[in-house]
Amino acid sequence: MIEIKNLTCNYGNNIVFNGINLAIKKGSLAGIVGPSGSGKTTLIKAILGVVRPIAGEVYVNGKTIKNNPPPNIGYIPQLEAIEWDFPVTVEQVVMMGRHNKMGILPWSGKEDRKKVQEALDRLGILQYINHHIKTLSGGEQQRVFLARALVSEPELLILDEPTSGVDLKTQHDILHFLLTLNKKGITIVLITHDLNAVAAHLPWIVCFNRGIVAEGKPDDVFNPEILKKTYNADVAVIRKGHLILMANATPFND
């Protein structure tokens, strides 16, 4: 589904990562973990075609994304990047995911409105369809952007920190929803900071720090050695049955 070959990206005069190779198979549900400033967001933006690499190629479904964003892709940005005072209703935001399928006229068709309502209903927020986006809670806002991605009928879904700033119940609901989508055949790649509540429950993990440190199942990559290389810090890993718990193991000095 996604094939990254010798990819090098920069930010101003700094090289963010150099010559990385990564393959994400169709039908995967992969989480990219790593510290702040490790280049995770740059990596997914290169996959989305928003950041132009200085070398290397990104292929989605066998086609290079050079100059064009890959088709059939759903993207959920970090909620911090959204201007919440912008005068748009939930329906208007979700409808943006249908723009490419709507034709040249400015108004939406019956079919588009039906798709939007179905997505909102599926995510349990149909009652907010005419509400201003700012009036929703963090979890509900996250679902609005999930709905926008869904109505675009994506084959690939990319999420930047989908569980940051939402409570535990919503975190669980979002993760569960993503697993359901994945079972229906949608390939999902997400960035997460949350090792315990999110990353440990994903089938495939990519540990990233200005390059790929390791990739594999959580059982294989979540060990102190790989996490130390990823986070440049001591991380304790506690295993209890199927549960993996990770915590900062660097002692605090007085």
Partner 1 sequence: MEFLITPLKYEFVVNGMIVAMMIGILCGIIGIYVVLRGMSYIGHGLSHAAFGGAVIGYIFSINLYIAAGVWGLLSAFLINLIVREKKIKADAAIGIVTTASFALGIALISRIRRFTKNLEAILFGNILGVTTEDIIIIGIVTLLVIIIIFFLYKQLLFVTFDPESANVYGTRASLIDAIFSFILAASIIVSLQVIGVTLIAAAIIIPASTARLLTNNFNKMFFLSIAIGAITSVAGIYASFYLNAASGATIVLLGALIFSIVLIYNYIHRKIMLHEHAHSHLHGAIPHHHTHLDDAEHGHEHKEKP
The distance of closest approach from Cβ of residue 104 to partner 1 in the complex, given in angstroms and rounded to an integer, is 6
Which of 34, 49, 53, 162 touches partner 1 (CB under 8 A)?
49
Q: Which is nearer to partner 1, 14 or 253 (CB)?
A: 14
User: What's the min distance (Å) between Cβ of 103 and partner 1?
Assistant: 10
Q: Are 174 and 166 in contact (CB under 8 A)?
A: yes
Quick check: 80 binds partner 1 (CB under 8 A)? no
Q: Which is nearer to partner 1, 11 or 225 (CB)?
A: 11
Q: State which of residues 15, 50, 214, 237 lies at the interface with partner 1 (CB under 8 A).
A: 50
State both tokens at 17. 């990562």
Regarding 126 and contact with partner 1 (CB under 8 A), the answer is no
Segment interacting with partner 1 (CB under 8 A) among 27-35, 56-64, 81-89, 200-208: 81-89
Is 15 a residue that touches partner 1 (CB under 8 A)? no
For partner 1 (CB under 8 A), the number of binding residues is 40
53 binding partner 1? (CB under 8 A):
no
Task: Give 44 or 226: the residue with its C-beta nearer to partner 1.
Answer: 44
SS (H, E, C) the chain: CEEEEEEEEEECCEEEEEEEEEEECCCCEEEEECCCCCCHHHHHHHHHCCCCCCEEEEEECCEECCCCCCCCEEEECCHHHCCCCCCCEHHHHHHHHHHHHCCCCCCCCHHHHHHHHHHHHHCCCHHHCCCEHHHCCHHHHHHHHHHHHHHCCCCEEEEECCCCCCCHHHHHHHHHHHHHHHHCCCEEEEECCCCCCCHHHCCEEEEECCCEEEEECHHHHCCHHHHHHHHCCCEEEEEECCEEEEEECCCCCC
Handedness of CA 233, 163, 174, 190 (dihedral sign): negative
**Phi first, then psi: what are they for 79, rounded to 5°?**
-65, -25
66 in contact with partner 1 (CB under 8 A)? no
Q: How far is the CB of 91 from partner 1 (least distance, A)?
A: 9
Rounded Cα distance between 254 and 251, Å, is 10
Site residues for partner 1, window 85-104 (CB under 8 A)?
Answer: 86-89, 92-93, 96-97, 99-100, 102, 104
In angstroms, give the least distance from the CB of 102 to partner 1. 7
Quick check: 75 binds partner 1 (CB under 8 A)?
yes
Is residue 69 close enough to count as binding partner 1 by CB under 8 A? yes
Q: Which residues lie near partner 1 (CB under 8 A)? A: 45, 48-50, 69, 71, 73, 75, 77, 81-83, 86-89, 92-93, 96-97, 99-100, 102, 104, 106, 130-132, 134-135, 137-139, 148, 152, 166-170
